[in-house]
A = this chain, B = another copy of it.
Amino acid sequence: MVNQRADVGWQSSKSDSSGVSNSGESSKESSRCSTPVLDTDRTDRLRDKMKRRIESGDHWFSLEFFPPRTASGAVNLISRFDRMGSGGPLFIDVTWHPAGDPGSDKETSSMMIASTAVNYCGLESVLHLTCCNQTKEKITAHLNKAKRLGLKNIMALRGDPIGEDWVEEDGGFNYATDLVKHIRCEFDDYFDICVAGYPTGHPEAESYDNDLRHLKEKVDAGAHFIVTQLFFRAETFLRFVKDCRAIGITCPILPGIFPIQGYHSLRQLVKLSKLEVPEEIMQVIEPIKDNDAAIRSYGIQQAVEMCKVLLASGEVPGLHFYTLNREVATIEVLRQLGLWAEDPRRPLPWAVSAHPKRKVEDVRPIFWASRPKSYIYRTQDWDDFPNGRWGNSSSPAFGELTDYYLFYLKSKSPKEALLQMWGEELMNEGSVYEVFTNYITGQTNPSGHKVMCLPWNDDPLAPETNLLKDELEKVNRRGILTINSQPNINGKPSSDPIVGWGPAGGYVFQKAYLEFFTSSENVTALLQVLKKYEPRVNYHIVNVQGKNITNAHEMQPNAVTWGIFPGREIIQPTVVDPVSFMYWKDEAFALWIEQWAKLYEDESPSRMIIQYIHDNYFLVNLVDNDFPLDSCLWQVIEDMFALLDSPRETQEEGSQL
């Protein structure tokens, strides 16, 4: 903690008590800390994160997934990434299946799944890559594509030879070591590299010792850490680590944990990996082999016990889970180990992306709050991301959103489920009001289904929005069709479970925000009412044709969420930006048609009702600037209804519409 200033510059201290380290890439690129450095996990490389965790004695876990077979499987896996990501894995990895066109742009490819995890789910991700039977050109092309997509970590594997007659090629990729060398040679230090370790020796290895030497070669060629094949006894792994250390392997070695989840999956895995299940496990499992629940319960218990031994040994900095793309068993093991983040701290109020290009990003328009993946998609071509102030973004144009079919932008629910939620048949605009109201209240609709999503909100109401539930219900019933809102917050601790975000010891603030569709009749009254609320309330009101009514500066964004933290500059992660609102408006109106109207037949009454709303309603957003006072936005709406309810002659003439 003592920095001595030398004449030539700074001799920086090795560690500082704020827990922020500036090692590696990040210190080079942001020597003046132009980033918020809210979360070093966002700027550090995987190897540095591991180093930091090892130094602090903070155990981590990671999760392995395989690519799905179908498009709907991809949608499910992405949702799983979001859910399991919230538990706080240090990284996830995605396996590589040469037979499944893994480097393609298909939504089920390893490459696209890993890219989605990084870009849209904000997960540090490791892409597997096998080299067996591949040309250097092909491998380099894969790596270039991975780099372009924002992937920073590769698990370098040989992979299984195709066919029986595999022979070593001169100058080809015969071993994972060749791949590690190739990555280092072609991409220098860009990728963090993981290699596989075999606690009982690779099945094809001449001997355990020979296999260890191969592993040493892989590490010496430039690998940063090792993940092991699964095993069933803690001592298997611990002996392996000891042997690795003995021959000079010093990098982190992560045990591959496989919670037994069923009799058949166990048998299959064992067959593929040519492992032997210990007698003591088979003795327990055989008698209950038809009882899935019992086996899973045993598997959890067995994994927890083994992990406890591993962690207690002091040799294990983190655990790597073979999830088989399932959630329950792995999460339960992690919960019991106390490694699952029950109350995950959000570094920012929105889900960050892990693309290296976006690591300084710390401001976004509020409009995409419920559609973060769409926001990331529409800004993927930006060269710079706003940092500190929204206006600093030098690439303000948003990409078109015509690709509603993309698996990470699609509704999670199939058409039938949507019809059940939103109505097989709409009678009138009131039917639509009811759908919105049921979404807010969580009550079932007349056909007995809960409305779990809306075109603008693919998930149930956020806990924060729940704070406004009563008011939202009341206004939606009357045709104020809310799609986004936040309460005002006047300095709650950053650790607040509902509205908190950012580092500990800080305070978060919000201006009340309300965004809704409503009829032009309502807007006419609203505009009259809003005069009374100048300059306290800022508004933007726009219809699908782009007719835009506002009392705000046409270029100046309004910060509506900000946080004050110890020893940092102010962070203002959410703004109401007038320019972005016009891009969002296109998307918000299009969702009526793309996600709702198209559920119904052409020319059907239901479709025409949605089309009418799309063509005639206005999209309105309101900000109450006076954040220390109770929000006045509900009063604004109430005043509007009072005006509409009053006798005609008391209403002023001369609407702007």
A555 touches B22 (CB 8 A): yes
A567 touches B625 (CB 8 A): yes
CA A575 – CA B542 in complex, angstroms?
39
Question: Is A549 located at the chain interface by the 8 A CB criterion?
Answer: yes
Stretch of A29-37, A256-264, A292-300, A514-522 on the interface side: A29-37
CA A572 – CA B33 in complex, angstroms?
16
CA A392 – CA B37 in complex, angstroms?
14
Shortest CB distance A536–B (Å): 7
Shortest CB distance A575–B (Å): 6
Contacts of A3 in B (CB 8 A): 548-550, 554
Question: Is A582 located at the chain interface by the 8 A CB criterion?
Answer: yes
CA A491 – CA B629 in complex, angstroms?
12
> Assuming A391-B569, A556-B568, is B538 touching A4 (CB within 8 A)?
no
Question: Is A5 located at the chain interface by the 8 A CB criterion?
Answer: yes
With most chain B CB atoms within 10 A of its CB, the pick from A5, A10, A389, A542 is A389
A13 touches B554 (CB 8 A): yes
Interchain CB contact (< 8 A) of A562 among B12, B17, B22, B564: B564
B16 touches A551 (CB 8 A): yes
CA A393 – CA B33 in complex, angstroms?
10
Interchain CB contact (< 8 A) of A391 among B5, B32, B554: B32
Contacts of A130 in B (CB 8 A): none
B559 touches A570 (CB 8 A): yes
Question: Is A546 located at the chain interface by the 8 A CB criterion?
Answer: yes
Shortest CB distance A549–B (Å): 6
Question: Is A656 located at the chain interface by the 8 A CB criterion?
Answer: yes
Copy number of this protein in the oligomer?
2
CA A97 – CA B297 in complex, angstroms?
96
Interchain CB contact (< 8 A) of A388 among B4, B17, B389: B389
B509 touches A17 (CB 8 A): no
Contacts of A396 in B (CB 8 A): 32
Question: Is A387 located at the chain interface by the 8 A CB criterion?
Answer: yes
Using CB atoms, name the residue of chain B closest to A585. B5
Shortest CB distance A232–B (Å): 44
> Assuming A5-B582, A491-B490, A536-B505, is B556 touching A569 (CB within 8 A)?
yes
A625 touches B505 (CB 8 A): yes
Instruction: Count contacts on A: residues with CB < 8 A to the other chain.
Output: 71
A555 touches B33 (CB 8 A): yes
Shortest CB distance A627–B (Å): 7
A20 touches B568 (CB 8 A): no
Question: Is A383 located at the chain interface by the 8 A CB criterion?
Answer: no
Interchain CB contact (< 8 A) of A554 among B12, B550, B623: B12
Contacts of A535 in B (CB 8 A): 17-18, 505, 566-567
> Assuming A33-B391, A553-B33, is B568 touching A569 (CB within 8 A)?
no
CB 8 Å contact bits of A242-286 with B (1 = contact, 0 = none)? 000000000000000000000000000000000000000000000
A509 touches B564 (CB 8 A): yes
Question: Is A288 located at the chain interface by the 8 A CB criterion?
Answer: no
A1 touches B566 (CB 8 A): no
Using CB atoms, name the residue of chain B closest to A20. B553
CA A565 – CA B557 in complex, angstroms?
11
Question: Is A534 located at the chain interface by the 8 A CB criterion?
Answer: yes
B628 touches A507 (CB 8 A): yes
B551 touches A2 (CB 8 A): no
CA A656 – CA B3 in complex, angstroms?
11
Using CB atoms, name the residue of chain B closest to A511. B564
Question: Is A309 located at the chain interface by the 8 A CB criterion?
Answer: no
Contacts of A33 in B (CB 8 A): 391, 553, 555-557
Interchain CB contact (< 8 A) of A575 among B20, B393, B569, B623: B569
CB 8 Å contact bits of A325-366 with B (1 = contact, 0 = none)? 000000000000000000000000000000000000000000
A554 touches B2 (CB 8 A): no
A391 touches B34 (CB 8 A): yes
Question: Is A119 located at the chain interface by the 8 A CB criterion?
Answer: no
Contacts of A554 in B (CB 8 A): 3, 10, 12-13, 16, 22
Question: Is A579 located at the chain interface by the 8 A CB criterion?
Answer: yes
**A residues 509-551 touching B (CB-CB < 8 Å):** 509, 534-536, 538, 542, 546-551
Shortest CB distance A540–B (Å): 10
**A residues 561-617 touching B (CB-CB < 8 Å):** 562, 564-570, 572, 575, 579, 582
Contacts of A65 in B (CB 8 A): none
Interchain CB contact (< 8 A) of A559 among B5, B555, B568: B568
A553 touches B567 (CB 8 A): yes
Question: Is A368 located at the chain interface by the 8 A CB criterion?
Answer: no
Shortest CB distance A537–B (Å): 9
Contacts of A550 in B (CB 8 A): 1, 3, 16
CA A601 – CA B553 in complex, angstroms?
61
CA A656 – CA B31 in complex, angstroms?
27
CA A13 – CA B507 in complex, angstroms?
38
Question: Is A110 located at the chain interface by the 8 A CB criterion?
Answer: no
B552 touches A567 (CB 8 A): yes
Question: Is A456 located at the chain interface by the 8 A CB criterion?
Answer: no
Shortest CB distance A42–B (Å): 14
Name 8 extra pairs, CB < 8 A, besides A16-B553, A569-B572. Answer: A1-B551, A18-B553, A22-B554, A32-B393, A32-B555, A389-B569, A556-B568, A570-B572
Top 7 closest A-B pairs, CB basis? A5-B546, A388-B389, A566-B625, A34-B391, A33-B555, A3-B548, A388-B388
